[in-house]
Structure 1
């Protein structure tokens, strides 16, 4: 069952419509919104749609512009980004193997939590500015140990250095603290999140209690 309280109704309706488009039939929802719809921990606003298959960027762009008034903000081979009614949309080819098969829940195709964890860790390594990535990993410490998360990372990205995400999780100097965060389970407390991440680094085999 989707945790629909985490996403605006219009955004969820848009997601369902987009995933019903034949040109987007292989695209699955990833990232923070996919995780929020799975575990219900925070509000999320963006729609990140990834596929392992190649796609005709011009054809997809034309369809989105004509049917959804899509406003392009960035495009290059295998990557299309923009906005539909104020909602940020990414359509990206991401040619890495699935750790687990994607799920379809209430008509929405979602990447698995292990896959989302691997991609979140990769995002933190590449760009440690997004506070929500850190929040998501800290929240998931109640389901997985850091060692398990790091295993997901190296399984999905075999050429990656397992040390990098372990270090990046406790490096906070680049984080943008102006980014809006709305938790569904209580008031957002960065100090608690930071302490959890540090505790994870000290106890990588531990699965923690509620954040």
Structure 2
């Protein structure tokens, strides 16, 4: 995969907010994953949110207090192990993940970016729940970038070895586009059409079953 060289996926205002968050040390123990971490590494689309993950439990009140010292913050949602906030027009999520990542994070501008292979695992798991169009687009770009579906599924087996999951259900979910059909395409940098996304993923699933 490419070295992170695509800062334009986030606008200048977002980067200004990120610099303040990083300077305060709020994200030191966290790993940025999701579509933004992928976009920073492959430059396929714009993004407007950050998804940070940690393997340990955290004090939501303490974290929120630290963020509030940076600027005006609005809580969008919170539970015992999740916090979603809006900080200066940048949506930031902090989530606990029960399973550690498989690969070392990549350092970039004070952020720890999840490896694209770990992001691929998360994307397939997300699609297995209720995949958004962004998830399918991200998976498409991973596949076009040289990753293959059998490899991703083998990584899922490694990461979730202690959990009984349904591999057949995951594969079926990858070609269930009904929910995503109702959503718009994300703001793209690369010229990618939705029908190409569907065709590529359908072909990858068919190749596995054939």
Q: How many residues align?
A: 203
Using a 3 Å threshold, how does the CA distance of structure 1 residues 180 and 69 change in structure 2: closer, same or farther? farther
Q: Deviations over 1:18-41 (max 9, x none)?
A: 234334320111100000001111
Q: What residue ranges of structure 2 are gaps of 5+ in the alignment?
A: none
Counterpart mapping for 1:1-211 below 5 A: 1-128=4-131, 130-142=132-144, 143-158=146-161, 159=163, 160-175=165-180, 177-186=182-191, 188-204=192-208
SS at match of 1:98: coil
Pairwise CA distance, 1:103: 1.3
The TM-score, its normalising length taken from structure 2, stands at 0.89
In 1, distance between residues paired with 2:169 and 2:12? Answer: 37
1:180 is displaced (CA, Å) by 4.5
Normalized against structure 1, the TM-score is what? 0.89
- Distance, in Å, in 2 between the alignment partners of 1:114 and 1:69 is 35
Offset at 1:176?
Answer: 5.2
- Partners of 2:137 and 2:185 in 1: CA distance: 12
Contact 1:45 1:88 in 2 (8 A): yes
Aligned alpha-carbon RMSD (Å): 1.8
Is contact 1:68-1:84 (8 Å) kept? yes
CA shift, 1:67, in A, is 1.9
CA contact (8 A) 1:2 1:106 kept: no
Q: Spell out structure 1 runs of 4+ moving beyond 4 A.
A: none
Cα distance in 2 between the residues matched to 1:180 and 1:202: 24
User: SS where residue 183 of structure 1 aligns?
Assistant: coil
